[in-house]
Amino acid sequence: MTPHRKPSTHRIRVDLHAHTRHSPDALLPPAQLVERAREAGLGRLAVTDHGVIEGALEAREMDRDLVIVGEEIKCRCGTELIGLFLSERIPMRLRIEEVVERIRAQDGVVYAPHPYAYALRPRWHLERALGVADVVEAFNARAFLPAWNRRADREARTRGLPRAASSDAHFPAEIGRAYTEMPTFSSASVFRRSLDSAEPVALRVTHPAVHVASTTIRAFRVAASECRRLVVEEGRRPVPASG
């Protein structure tokens, strides 16, 4: 790798935020996610499941030139960050400073997803996320209230932070609704330099009904897990002696 090589002038479509069935609120098999990304003309795709990297690793085995291994991590304060170019999972609920430290220890990139799209204290979460971010999700296709993306974009511009657009896809139809055009890259270091000329494009908001679907999936999985726990617990109870 040549440290001072200029980014390529060839531009590609990049989605830095997507989920597989390894997230509790998504159903996409990694293979289907990869196939749909190719159909949408994406040059790179970050698989960023909640709290795990197994889906990303599985997807990368199918297409190493396409997939970036990432993880969406909820910090102890409730703010969410995404680590890009990871090699190891980062636990949830750590202090935000430790999450950032662990991402950078892997030579990863700190991505601030939907920095204003929080039901409570959105400005507080935005300040926390943008204070540590290498790149900001200025447009999230699932952020259906226009103010969420508008304020994220404005704050990123004000601070001179690189801006990106992502689908936050949980279902096949969401892939391609938002992405970033930027020079091609082959590593985290080249990616960072390429951000200087990154441009969020597409910018189509997904119908809010996807949130209902994701919430339903999460609730079903929680209920199924509880049922399995109860069955196991019941099976461990001693059988009363007869007679």
3-state secondary structure 106-126: CCCEEEECCCCCCCCCHHHHH
Q: Which two tokens stand for residue 228?
A: 């399995």
Q: What is the pTM of this model?
A: 0.90
| Structure confidence at residue 8 (pLDDT) | 56
Residue 215 covered by a domain: no
Cα distance between residue 193 and residue 77, in whole Å: 30
Q: Which residues share a beta bridge with 163?
A: 136
What CATH number has the domain bearing residue 105?
3.20.20.140
| Structure confidence at residue 113 (pLDDT) | 98
Residue 222 covered by a domain: no
pLDDT lower than 50: segments of the chain: 1-5, 7
| Structure confidence at residue 224 (pLDDT) | 80
Residue 198 covered by a domain: yes
Residue 5 covered by a domain: no
> Identity (one letter) of the amino acid at 238?
P
Residue 229 covered by a domain: no
Q: Give the other-Cβ count within 10 Å of 240's Cβ.
A: 6
Left (φ > 0), alpha (ψ -120 to 50) or beta: where does 85 sit?
A: left
Cα distance between residue 44 and residue 197, in whole Å: 16
| Structure confidence at residue 221 (pLDDT) | 87
Helix (H) or strand (E) holding 78: none
DSSP single-letter state for residue 226: H
Residue 106's domain spans which residues? 11-206
Cα distance between residue 91 and residue 71, in whole Å: 10
Residue 78 covered by a domain: yes
Cα distance between residue 55 and residue 106, in whole Å: 18
| Structure confidence at residue 241 (pLDDT) | 62
| Structure confidence at residue 2 (pLDDT) | 33
- Can you give the C-alpha Rg of the chain in angstroms? 19
Count up the domains in the chain and report the number.
Answer: 1
